[in-house]
Amino acid sequence: MSRAALAARTGENVRTPPVRIIHLGLGAFHRAHQAWYTDQVDDNGEWGIAAFTGRSAQAALELSPQDGLYTLIERSDAGDSAALVSSIVEAVDGSDTARFVELMAAESTALVTLTVTEAGYRLRADGSPDLGDSALAADVAFLADNLDRAARGAFSAGGPTTTLGRLVLGLEARRLAGAGAIAIVPCDNMPDNGPLVERAVWALAAMLNTETAEWIAAHVAFVSTSVDRITPKTTADDIEAAAGLTGWADRAPVVTEPFRDWVLSGHFPAGRPAWERAGARFVDDIEPFERRKLWLLNGAHSLLAYAGLLRGLDSVAAAMTDPVCRGWVNEFWDDAVRHLPAELLALDEYRAALLERFDNTRIEHRLAQISAEAVTKLRVRIAPVVLAERAEGRQAAAGIRAIASWASLVLAGRPMVDAEAAQIAVIASRPTDAAIAGLVALVDARLAQDAAILADITALIGEHQAE
Ligand SMILES: NC(=O)c1ccc[n+]([C@@H]2O[C@H](COP(=O)([O-])OP(=O)(O)OC[C@H]3O[C@@H](n4cnc5c(N)ncnc54)[C@H](O)[C@@H]3O)[C@@H](O)[C@H]2O)c1
Ligand SMILES: O=P(O)(O)OC[C@@H](O)[C@@H](O)[C@H](O)[C@H](O)CO
């Protein structure tokens, strides 16, 4: 249903705000989170979003015939409620570099949000751009030859395919157009995501053109965020449920939980929607909030994913009804909260709310989905808790279990999506002890260098293999 068709059908005039926000990574989460917050607060119709897909054009193909409109279903044990979200005014195939460059060069564009997954940034463990990555290497080669022409929109075909490559090209287009300062707002589950992306973008730009890098340093604000709203992939049943709720055959609805949270730190030189009116919080120091969310929520998710899959379970809610998995989650939380500021973060309330959210049996969050990209996820969700606990002489048994469960699944040949899949396969083919050490080192070298940690992980993997 287009905006015009909707108006004709309901008499409701759904406006089309001008594009002032670019989004990269048009998945379910963007539609449940940033697009929803923007929709909630844009009373005057000032903040339209042009959302670009990542690796597949599918979401753009689904949303474009609907003028970007979609149904957001909030699902709890009490039932479903559906709302129409209209903040996405353009759903664009990510390979449409010309449109991306055009919008980046427009003075009216104030900010770029991103949800491209942790692995989508193609960073090494130290945060530097992974130039061993073939797609990133291809983008560097393309931009080395074409940066100026491409940024002026004067190239025939092709263009960068990676997030970092696209950002550098877009920022160069903005510099050449004299369109002024802009904010980049990464909304992926990575600690310190603003400065992390800033360093990577700057490093890539510095390889290509000193003036670009200098302009970025002076004109681009990188905002850190902690984002939260459990949003699984849309299923065929969800599409049917949306039609039942609204009477409209939406091809791209999203199902999410009622809970949402957005903490941001940084500045927006060209303005932003008043997201705080929908509950977003702007803080000076985001680190404690990031840790709380990444360790308690995402860490528990990853623990459940690997340990739960090993126990034959398939969703978060199913794993939470398993007393053994539930016990491990509580154990992990006991460990993690020792390294968080309890008063500032209201940790008891946070844990209680998390239990309720994980117990929401109507949100079908598949462990297989969460299990993807183990290397980047375990590195930031589990390893810091294990290292902090070990440094204080405790076992960190639940965190050890998460890592050992993942390694057991790898060694058992279970297919799991991972940007590091090729390296994982090479390591897994080594003799068992070397394979375990290699896998653990891939997550965090410090874990593998600690003989006691390695011995505990090896023992647990031995138990799994004997089962
Ligand atoms: N789903 C959630 O509950 C949730 C909650 C908080 C934060 N997040 C963050 O948002 C991200 C996206 O979540 P989603 O559920 O929308 O996932 P998704 O799988 O739908 O992916 C979102 C977008 O990222 C693109 N993408 C995926 N891998 C990529 C890669 N390697 N390079 C470039 N683009 C890539 C996809 O094509 C898609 O456009 C998560 O990885 C996480 O960092 C998600
Ligand atoms: O989205 P991912 O794949 O990075 O991680 C899986 C889940 O842990 C994650 O999506 C959480 O549900 C989300 O971060 C909750 O806000």
**With bands split at pLDDT 50, 70 and 90, how would you rate the model's confidence at 409?**
very high
pLDDT > 70: percent of the chain: 99
Mean pLDDT score of the chain:
95
**With bands split at pLDDT 50, 70 and 90, how would you rate the model's confidence at 150?**
confident
**Stretch 154-163: mean pLDDT:** 83
List all residues 6 or more positions away from 102 whose beta carbon is below 8 Å from its beta carbon: 153, 173
CB of 175 closer than 6 angstroms to any ligand 2 atom: no
**Stretch 190-211: mean pLDDT:** 97
Question: Cα(203)–Cα(212) distance, rounded to whole angstroms?
Answer: 11
Query: Is pLDDT at 329 greater than 80 in this prediction?
Result: yes
Could you give the ipTM of this predicted complex? 0.98
Q: What is the pLDDT of residue 77?
A: 87
Three-state DSSP class for residue 229: coil
Question: Cα(58)–Cα(69) distance, rounded to whole angstroms?
Answer: 15
Domains of the chain: 3-282 (3.40.50.720), 287-466 (1.10.1040.10)
Could you write out the DSSP letters of every residue in 280-294?
Answer: -EE-S--HHHHHIII
Phi, then psi, of 114 in degrees rounded to 5: -135, 135
- Ligand showing the shortest atom-to-Cα distance for residue 232: 1
Question: Cα(440)–Cα(364) distance, rounded to whole angstroms?
Answer: 30
> What is the residue with the minimal CA distance to atom 4 of ligand 1?
29
Ramachandran area for residue 373 (φ above 0: left; ψ -120 to 50: alpha; else beta): left
**Stretch 5-10: mean pLDDT:** 74
Q: Which two tokens stand for residue 109?
A: 């564009």
CB of 370 closer than 6 angstroms to any ligand 2 atom: yes
Question: Cα(431)–Cα(348) distance, rounded to whole angstroms?
Answer: 44
Nearest Cα residue to 341 out of 288, 305, 413? 288
Query: Is pLDDT at 214 greater than 80 in this prediction?
Result: yes
Residue type, 248: W
- In angstroms, what is the C-alpha Rg of the chain? 22
Q: What angle do CA 154, 108, 66 make, to 5 degrees?
A: 85
Q: Which helix (H) or strand (E) holds 52?
A: strand 48-52
CB under 6 Å to ligand 1: residues? 25-30, 53-56, 115-120, 163, 188-189, 227-231
**Stretch 32-59: mean pLDDT:** 97
- Ligand showing the shortest atom-to-Cα distance for residue 32: 1
Residue with tokens 């509950």: 279
CB of 363 closer than 6 angstroms to any ligand 2 atom: no
Q: What is the pLDDT of residue 192?
A: 95
Q: What is the pLDDT of residue 156?
A: 61
pLDDT > 90: percent of the chain: 91
**Stretch 336-357: mean pLDDT:** 95
Three-state DSSP class for residue 362: coil
Q: 370 alpha carbon to ligand 2 midpoint, in Å?
A: 7
Phi, then psi, of 394 in degrees rounded to 5: -100, 170
Query: Is pLDDT at 155 greater than 80 in this prediction?
Result: no
> What is the residue with the minimal CA distance to atom 42 of ligand 1?
188
Q: What is the pLDDT of residue 75?
A: 96
Q: 217 alpha carbon to ligand 2 midpoint, in Å?
A: 31
- Ligand showing the shortest atom-to-Cα distance for residue 369: 2
